[in-house]
Structure 1
Amino acid sequence: MTRLVTGLLVAALWAPAAHGQAQAQGPSASTAGDADAVPMIVIEGLGEQDDAAPAEPAVPSVLLRNSTVKSRSTAPWLFPLRPLSGKSGANDMARLQGQASEGAFRLVLPPAALSGRLTLAHRSSVNVLPQGSEIEVLLNGRKLGSFRPDSFGTLATVSLPLAGSQARAGENIVTLRASQRHRIFCGPDASFALWTDLDLSQSGVQMEPLAVRPDAAGFVAALAAQAGGGQAVGIRGQKVDPETLRAIAGALGQATGGAPLPLTVASPWAVAERPAQARISLLPSNRSAVSVQQGGDGALVLVIEHPPGQAADPALITEALSGVPDPLTLAQPVMLQPGQETAFADLGFTTVVSSEYYFRRDLGFRLPEDWLLLASQKATVELDYGFAENLPEGGLVLVKVNGTTVRMLPLDRNGGKIQPRLPVSFSARLLRPGLNALSFESIIPGDPADEPCPTRDTDMLTILDSSSLLVPPSPKMQQPDMARTLSGLGGGDVQGLGQVGDGVLPFVAALTPVETQGAGALTVVGFADASLLPLTQRGIAARDLETVLLPPVAPAALAQPKPEPVEEPVNTGPARLMPANPVEPRSASWTLPGWVDRAWAAVRAPLERGIDRLLHPGDGLLQPWLAEQQGVAVLMSLEPDEPERLWLLLGPDADAADVAADLDAGRRSAGGPHGQISVLRRDGSWASWTAADARPVLLEPLAIGNIRPVLGNLVSWQPRALTAAMLGLAWITALLALYFVVSTRGNRKK
């Protein structure tokens, strides 16, 4: 028995060696089946030497498509849906919430996928009534199909054919419109309980890897698919210079429409944890050329040849990817002309007809970058709207400007018709140069709230596109604001500092100028290099930023151990009668009546805010504001003398591609970063702070016609200056009056 075991061990140890000898002997030593299963890689220069040198260096055969080589990546490729804006990752879930909601997604396809099928993995709340709900799917504005949200536990899939649709090679826009009905309750709270989640990591178009041709369209689609799946895209090469990396990132960002690409620099011999769909390889050569090849693992490879010691030519990269259709351009908010009444229709707003118990619609528009009003001027919305008759009591519609409610309109009286045109005035200082948002939000209670919503024959609310907006003109003035710099930033304006390394590449790829502005610069800094930032000019300590960016501690870690129970001493003295609840001693001071207390409480808050604004213009002191923030990145304008120079500090757990996506989405939104300091919260929103030293600057000559709004802006910027000027004027007037009285009194005595 012992000899048998020993023999088996010897045979097991000898087998790999024998297999290696068989491989060393060449193909003749193996069977035909082994030759098909094991790819043979020919390394040029190690075989028989040819006297005639080739005119041009050949691309290594390992990068070329070979029909006899079987791809090691046999799993189908998924070309996933990606959010139209903001971060994208492998585990992101997109939610359609409410009675009626809409979500838009990007879908980048190679030509071979146009005859495939679009798969959507979805799951809905148990509150959704499938028989009264539907989700409509549109592709590039045309209906592709629809399905019923009837999966409440595990994910369900629906498959829609692309053949004969509006699908195109390159970028497509997939829109999902959800109409959902609550099975039990009715009202705004019930609307928030209605949702359908879409798993983006399992939604898209699947294809076999070998069906994707190694061309520009196939490479861009594979690149977008890998980035959308949350997998880094490797740039492989030896001693890659920074200029080449920036050229590659900029060209890829242009080809993908500014999509956030998780680009990383990797060794040529690095082995990926997961099979790659796309990568970039840099090869030293005596020529400059760019081509798309298919690697031995099935990945599409952008091969960039360049002479040693020279940067790759970005024009060749752009030319190699020029066969890809241009990405679809999204409509930008319309520029509103101040001083001119503009109809909503001219701003891109279409008439709203709503039957929802909770509804919100935003109207985005832009104001010139040299528009600025900080005083008491008024802007006006001339609102044409109507609502149904006999709506539940308490229904109302809110009119908001950049998130601030400026008017509440009741919907429970005098309904059943289009109302007379209603002027809604609001303070013009709520508006900002650049992007702004005018919002309409309706809240209608259920009647009754504990039963399903009744079927209505008429709509509940309509807002007509004949409504108009009038913004007063202003002198040409500007206030330092990072939003203006961000809108003009491009990939060439981004640089890294310290150990951020290739973390700067997603920003180079994602940032394309939204508007042509003056020169600006963005410096990306890693968390470990926070001390390299010029923080002293803002009076910030590095530990203040570290507190903002450190991940929150789990509640379990903060739990304090329960103290040991302490046994109360037993009173052995004579018994005394004690009240169950100790009586607080009455204060000897006189107390105001209750109604006076309530009145004072109502006045105190705005009074304190006014005094604080008087003493601390802008958004107050920076340190208390920072102490209330928590996020993954901080965007800063640290040098008052150079407001166009921005600094971005990444947190220790920040993903550079996600931050780049949120930064690009934020500068296209009215709620994006502005002022001098802005924190990217963990939910993708921005919190901004404006410094007191952000002084308005006049860009035109001072004249009689503009002196009043100019002074109004300056005084509103620094209320303390107004207070000091008024006190000074009062003292001067008093002194002059006193001098006049004293001097005339002496003359009278004579």
Structure 2
Amino acid sequence: MMRRAVALMAIVAGLASQAGAQPLLPDDTPPAAPALQAPAAGTAETQLGLSAPVTDMIVPLVDGAGRGRQAAETDDTASGSRAETVLVRLRELQNRQRTATVAEFVGEWTQKDFSFTLPALPEAPVPFQLSHVSSVNALPDSSFIRVEVNGQPVRELPIRSFEDYRLDRFSIDPALLRVGDNRVRISVRQTHRIYCGVEAAFQLWTRVDLEASGLAVPNGTFRADFDGFIAGLASHVARGEPVPIRHDLSAPIADRITPLFSVLRRAVNGDILLLEEQSAWQVKPGPNVSARVSIIDDPRVRGVSFRRGGDGTLVMVQGSSVDFAEAADMLQGMLAGRVAVPPVPQVTPGTAKPLAELTQTDLVAHGRYIAMRVSFRLPNDWMLLANQKARLDLDYRFAPALPRGALLQIKVNGKTVRLLPLDRDGGRELPTLPVSMPTNVLRAGQNTLLFEALIPGDPPHAPCPVVNTPLVEILPTSRFFVPASPRMSVLDLDHALAALTASDVLLTESAQRSLAPGAHVMLASVFGGTKAETPTLGTPKVTVGVPGDIALLSPFYSDSALQAMGNAMRSLPPPSSGSGEMPVAWSDNAGSAADGAMTRVMQMFSQLQTGFLSFSGETYTSTTELPAWLRARSADAILVQPDPALPEQVWLFVNPDLDLRALASSLANRLYVDDGPRGQIALFTAGTGWENWSTTAKILYLLEPVTPGNFLAVAGNFATAYPWIFVFMLIFITIAASLVSVVLVLNRRRDNT
């Protein structure tokens, strides 16, 4: 026995002498000694590891949830081994929440845009698959699905499946694809098999299963470089999985990794990233892991590089000596020139803007009910509340002999500004129609111009005739004009959120203990405002708390309002102390000297307005309407703007059991939709969205000096917001002028006598 032990020790010693002394390193550490230097902008240095396949990224071409197994299949693609393909799933651009697994098309003619990320261009035609099911009301002979890739039509699929999901496959020419972000537009044309009209249009629907739809690319396409990592990360996030961050650092990284996560979020087209910290020594990854980040505390690892881990996962390796902001700058350089989600177009006040510059889609109506949306943004310091007029110079045309009662509604932010008949003068060129609208239907920030066509069936009890030409068309030569305004703002959550950056998000101690790990990073990464572009009245800040922190707002709200807030979140806050002291989270208002002076001026101005409002019987936080409004509602999160003197500072109260991805997605989506958080209090419910409360007492802020050029507009805004104040001022001026006149007359008579 002793001889065997000695022999075994000798063998181990011999192996050690051959291998040399090597430190034990995590699996993601590059095995070779050369250091990993930071790649230059636009490049990605690669350190290859094991060549194991990325098995956790391979998904079956038929959905494993059971829908695909029941689906009929058509396949005109080249034969190949399915086990060696990766399904790059579609991600819906309009639904930035990314939690829906099904995209629904309702109506006779509907289109939606999707995206997918490719790490490299394939050499041969690539199979594309689409899993879909439609309403039984759709008439197969005149219903179809049209697929476009990067603006080029690739296939038209018939609608024939009405019970189970049907899986259609076809090939895409590699010349139509590009490295990085690719766009897919799916247009669905449906005709009701029995009826025709507006009501019949809402009975038509087609659903696309996003989990089983996408591009089936060879597994080897996902190389261990920057493009491969981003594509793997996009595929990983599209499944709703958290992003693993492996490290063995003693200090938490959640508060420091926000800059890096913000860049990664932009790289995957705005998807919300959920952070999951793991040990650097973890060997077995979780399920469905296709990309992760590893922070290696080793002097040999410097900069940022990309490799394939021993488990086949695509890994971004970062040395612990590299600051996260520095790593974010490196990745930002690599992203230069990439296709990104286009921002909402900006309308410059005082300049007419063609509709062709405000939308990337054709404004045409092929069905009996079509809503054509044009989204745009106005500067955050734009405000005209009086009777000024904006104007839409409308160029449009419509088909001849449309049924009696056909209408085109023009709406701005949900308010109808013009009704146009479509049952006469059709089929010919029409002169430009000036459509004026009051500027008070517009607002700073996000706006929506909606063209809503409603065309009755003729006859309504028969299928609609197949018409391949548009019934209504809004021409791109139409122009939209918004007059310029003085730089002003109103107390509103939308303006406050626009000024926030990732560094402005704070968590209370209760939130740090109660919310899920990575909550700070997720919420902070959705704010990308810049203080240079957004006018501010102080130091922007959003304090994230839990329902128990609602009592910290006692200096601003009555006990009944605080109790109603707590009940709305299904958690009653503790009784307020009544001390009236400023919450600790709000005590740090230090900024530049100019910011401090501006804040003090606005505090004085706010107190003056509050005095006038109190005199007229209207106050902001003490109104009795707020508790009654809150008691009739429930919420998973509440956004509050409590202090008119500090309008840039808001509170966000979150239920700990809320899926923060839904909340973060909705906050990020506020830049693209007109139903985001507004007013002074906004309630968020998962699956429903935001419900806003605004006080009737508008509080305005003037952001520029009063000059002869802007005096009338400034006075008009204040007169519209506080009409009684101006009435009293006019009465006072009239009385004062009368008294002066009486004094002058009496003095003249006295002199004459």
TM-score band w.r.t. shorter chain: 0.7 to 0.9
Moved more, 243-252 or 225-234: 243-252
Question: Does 2:95 correspond to 1:81?
Answer: no
**Residues of 2 paired with 1:739 and 1:256: CA distance?**
76
Moved more, 190-199 or 311-320: 311-320
Of 260, 275, 288, the match for 1:263: 275
After superposition, the Cα gap between the structure-2 partners of 1:709 and 1:263, relative to the gap in structure 1 and judged at 3 Å, is same
Q: Percent identity?
A: 30
Distance apart, 1:353 and its partner CA: 3.9
Residue 93 (structure 1) aligns with: 102
Distance apart, 1:736 and its partner CA: 9.3
Of 716, 721, 733, the match for 1:717: 721
1:471-482 correspondence to structure 2 within 5 Å: 471-482=482-493
Question: Does 2:185 correspond to 1:175?
Answer: yes
After superposition, the Cα gap between the structure-2 partners of 1:290 and 1:472, relative to the gap in structure 1 and judged at 3 Å, is closer
Over alpha carbons, which structure has the higher Rg? 1
**Residues of 1 paired with 2:439 and 2:115: CA distance?**
36
**Residues of 2 paired with 1:490 and 1:517: CA distance?**
11
Can you list the C-alpha shifts for 1:96-153, whole angstroms capped at 9, x where unaligned? 1111111111211222767542222111111112221221111222223221222111
After superposition, the Cα gap between the structure-2 partners of 1:528 and 1:302, relative to the gap in structure 1 and judged at 3 Å, is farther
Can you list the C-alpha shifts for 1:652-692, whole angstroms capped at 9, x where unaligned? 44322232222111123333333332333434643333345
Distance apart, 1:630 and its partner CA: 4.3
Letter in 2 for 1:80: R
Letter in 2 for 1:222: G
Can you list the C-alpha shifts for 1:359-392, whole angstroms capped at 9, x where unaligned? 1112233333332111222223233333333322
Of 262, 265, 287, the match for 1:253: 265
Moved more, 343-352 or 127-136: 343-352
Residue 225 (structure 1) aligns with: 235
Can you list the C-alpha shifts for 1:251-286, whole angstroms capped at 9, x where unaligned? 422433432112222344666652311222233223
Residue 169 (structure 2) aligns with: 159
Residue 703 (structure 2) aligns with: 699
Residue 641 (structure 2) aligns with: 637
Moved more, 731-740 or 340-349: 731-740
**Residues of 2 paired with 1:329 and 1:286: CA distance?**
35
SS at match of 2:518: helix
After superposition, the Cα gap between the structure-2 partners of 1:69 and 1:362, relative to the gap in structure 1 and judged at 3 Å, is closer
**Residues of 2 paired with 1:303 and 1:341: CA distance?**
49
After superposition, the Cα gap between the structure-2 partners of 1:399 and 1:615, relative to the gap in structure 1 and judged at 3 Å, is farther
1:179-198 correspondence to structure 2 within 5 Å: 179-198=189-208
**Residues of 2 paired with 1:184 and 1:379: CA distance?**
43
Letter in 2 for 1:645: Q
Residue 36 (structure 1) aligns with: none
Of 522, 525, 530, the match for 2:549: 530
1:574-723 correspondence to structure 2 within 5 Å: 616=618, 621-683=625-687, 685-691=689-695, 694-723=698-727
1:405-444 correspondence to structure 2 within 5 Å: 405-444=416-455
Contact 1:550–1:652, Cα closer than 8 Å, also in 2: no
Letter in 2 for 1:84: L
Residue 212 (structure 1) aligns with: 222
SS at match of 1:335: coil
Of 307, 319, 337, the match for 1:305: 319
**Residues of 1 paired with 2:18 and 2:28: CA distance?**
17
Letter in 2 for 1:111: A
Distance apart, 1:327 and its partner CA: 4.0
After superposition, the Cα gap between the structure-2 partners of 1:683 and 1:444, relative to the gap in structure 1 and judged at 3 Å, is farther
Contact 1:249–1:508, Cα closer than 8 Å, also in 2: no
**Residues of 2 paired with 1:349 and 1:302: CA distance?**
35
Question: Does 2:393 correspond to 1:382?
Answer: yes
Contact 2:488–2:703, Cα closer than 8 Å, also in 1: yes
SS at match of 1:465: coil
Can you list the C-alpha shifts for 1:186-215, whole angstroms capped at 9, x where unaligned? 111111111111111222234576663222
Contact 1:336–1:367, Cα closer than 8 Å, also in 2: yes
Residue 564 (structure 2) aligns with: 544
1:53-132 correspondence to structure 2 within 5 Å: 60=27, 73=56, 75-76=58-59, 77-89=86-98, 91-111=100-120, 115=124, 116-132=126-142
After superposition, the Cα gap between the structure-2 partners of 1:233 and 1:644, relative to the gap in structure 1 and judged at 3 Å, is same
Aligned length: 641
Distance apart, 1:463 and its partner CA: 2.6
Residue 290 (structure 2) aligns with: 277
Moved more, 185-194 or 341-350: 341-350
Give structure 2 stretches of 5+ with no counterpart. 1-6, 32-47, 60-85, 572-615
Question: Does 2:52 correspond to 1:48?
Answer: no
1:326-475 correspondence to structure 2 within 5 Å: 326-345=337-356, 347-348=358-359, 352-456=363-467, 459-475=470-486
After superposition, the Cα gap between the structure-2 partners of 1:421 and 1:207, relative to the gap in structure 1 and judged at 3 Å, is closer
Contact 1:382–1:424, Cα closer than 8 Å, also in 2: yes
Contact 1:365–1:435, Cα closer than 8 Å, also in 2: yes
Distance apart, 1:323 and its partner CA: 5.0
Q: TM-score, normalised by structure 2?
A: 0.75
Contact 2:29–2:317, Cα closer than 8 Å, also in 1: no
**Residues of 1 paired with 2:52 and 2:373: CA distance?**
55
Can you list the C-alpha shifts for 1:623-664, whole angstroms capped at 9, x where unaligned? 334345444433332332222223332234432223222211
Contact 2:263–2:331, Cα closer than 8 Å, also in 1: no
Contact 2:666–2:676, Cα closer than 8 Å, also in 1: no
Can you list the C-alpha shifts for 1:12-51, whole angstroms capped at 9, x where unaligned? xxxxxxxxxxxxx99xxxxxxxxxxxxxxx9xx9983789
**Residues of 1 paired with 2:217 and 2:362: CA distance?**
41
Distance apart, 1:533 and its partner CA: 5.0
Can you list the C-alpha shifts for 1:336-370, whole angstroms capped at 9, x where unaligned? 34344444345458774433211111223333333
**Residues of 2 paired with 1:58 and 1:325: CA distance?**
33
**Residues of 1 paired with 2:349 and 2:453: CA distance?**
28
Can you list the C-alpha shifts for 1:571-625, whole angstroms capped at 9, x where unaligned? xxxxxxxxxxxxxxxxxxxxxxxxxxxxxxxxxxxxxxxxxxx865899843334
Moved more, 682-691 or 61-70: 61-70
After superposition, the Cα gap between the structure-2 partners of 1:402 and 1:477, relative to the gap in structure 1 and judged at 3 Å, is same
Residue 585 (structure 2) aligns with: none
**Residues of 2 paired with 1:303 and 1:444: CA distance?**
58
Contact 1:363–1:437, Cα closer than 8 Å, also in 2: yes
After superposition, the Cα gap between the structure-2 partners of 1:139 and 1:207, relative to the gap in structure 1 and judged at 3 Å, is closer
Letter in 1 for 2:565: L
Residue 32 (structure 1) aligns with: none
Letter in 2 for 1:93: V
Q: TM-score, normalised by structure 1?
A: 0.75
**Residues of 1 paired with 2:430 and 2:52: CA distance?**
73
Can you list the C-alpha shifts for 1:51-105, whole angstroms capped at 9, x where unaligned? 9766x98654788777697877495353221121444456521111111111111
Residue 305 (structure 2) aligns with: 291
- RMSD across aligned C-alpha pairs, in angstroms? 4.1
**Residues of 2 paired with 1:150 and 1:657: CA distance?**
36
Residue 506 (structure 1) aligns with: 522
Give structure 1 stretches of 5+ with no counterpart. 1-24, 27-41, 552-613
Contact 1:476–1:698, Cα closer than 8 Å, also in 2: yes
Distance apart, 1:714 and its partner CA: 0.8
